[in-house]
Amino acid sequence: MSPIAVGALKVFAAIGLMLGNGVVLIYMLRKVLGRLHLRHGPMEMGPAGMFQTLMDVVKLLTKEDITPRAVDKWLFRLAPLMVFVPSLMAYAALPYSDSWRITSLDSGLLYTFAVLSLVPIGILMAGWASANKWSLLGGMRAAAQQIAYEVPLLLSVLPIVMLVGSANLGTIVEAQQGTFLAVLPRWFIMNPLFWPTFVLYVIASLVESNQTPFDMSEGESEIVAGFATEYSAMKFGLLFLSEFSNGFIVSALGVALFFGGWSLPWIPASWYAAAPIIGPAIFIIKTYIGIFFMMWIRGTFPRVRIDQMMQLGWMRLIPISLAWIVFSGIVIKVWS
């Protein structure tokens, strides 16, 4: 097959994964939040409400698409595009397994952060074009918080790149193979040098993907639905699909950086060759476990104030991550 046909198939696979994630994650969110609130969550559509999100997709497709009179028409239509395309592109560099990759970029980690940082432009565009005060506030907050935490996010994972000597996500996962003390996996989360890195990464990635307790951009009890207030039907659907997809991306990055990606140390290497599906399956399951923790946080923590969040980012996380880069640089050099 020509490289273009192969590439197109890969892109459709990524779209399929993104849509599948959207459907599964929304159902999972409702169920998990429901359980945390001592409710059942959706129960009517199919066994245990399993088809609820599928019916929601049908509803979004057949709903009237309202474009309010006051909006800036072109920016209003362009914004879902500007939010959706970068989220989709973020699937390109993830290491699903040693043989299943969409691309194997040497700058994969930097690339993923780069495309994710395009999302706030789309959100700001949506907020501005809606000609609505709630939307404008939400869009501005989203842009402010995502650019504030962009820097600590990039800085926080730098020690891992320094140790591995590559920003290729596949190489980073390969560096975490094997075990020590016979049973413990050689994941980076087991290395005390990366514990502060992990804490910084979790905080910064929750902000980057607009997760509670940092979801001021769409805080429904303050500013209705934030940047999405004036959107309806499929445009709204696409905005929120990207939202859930970004949650998946940061969780998948966390799995690749700290939890050994597609590998489980107790599975012999020959199994991966015999059944190539094992690697991606382990990767997706680990990612979903990460997302479960994000939902747990969402169900239990109150939303922080915007001034608290901005000052935490600039006055705490950036100095700490800079200091940690220096410290781990010295430790790595002394070690080797």
Report the site for another protein in 11-50 (rule: CB under 8 A): 11-12, 14-15
CB 16 within 8 A of CB 85: no
Question: Which of 147, 267, 285, 289 lies at the binding interface for another protein (CB under 8 A)?
Answer: 147
The answer to the question of residue 103 lying near another protein (CB under 8 A) is yes
Applying CB under 8 A, which part among 192-200, 230-238, 282-290, 292-300 lies near another protein? 230-238
Structure token pair of residue 110: 């930097």
Q: Of 23 and 43, which CB lies nearer to another protein in the complex structure? A: 23
Rg (CA), the chain: 20
Q: Work out whether 136 is an interface residue with another protein (CB under 8 A).
A: yes
Is-contact 140 227, C-beta < 8 A? Answer: no
Name which of 48 and 233 has its Cβ closer to another protein.
233
> Under the criterion CB under 8 A, does residue 162 sit at the interface with another protein?
yes
Cα dihedral 182, 183, 187, 193 sign: negative
Q: Which of residues 176-215 bind another protein (CB under 8 A)?
A: none
As measured in angstroms, the least distance from the Cβ of 47 to another protein is 27
Instruction: Report, in Å, the least distance between residue 118 CB and another protein.
Output: 11
Residue 280-319 contact track with another protein, rule CB under 8 A, x = bound = --------------------------xx--xx--xx--xx
Residues 6+ apart with CB under 8 A from 18: 87, 88, 91, 241, 245
Torsion (CA) 107, 112, 117, 122 in degrees, nearest 10: 130
Q: What angle do CA 167, 172, 178 make, to 5 degrees?
A: 165
Candidates 50, 224, 281, 304: give the one binding another protein (CB under 8 A): 224
> DSSP label at 312?
I
User: Which of 94, 119, 144, 252: binder of another protein (CB under 8 A)?
Assistant: 144
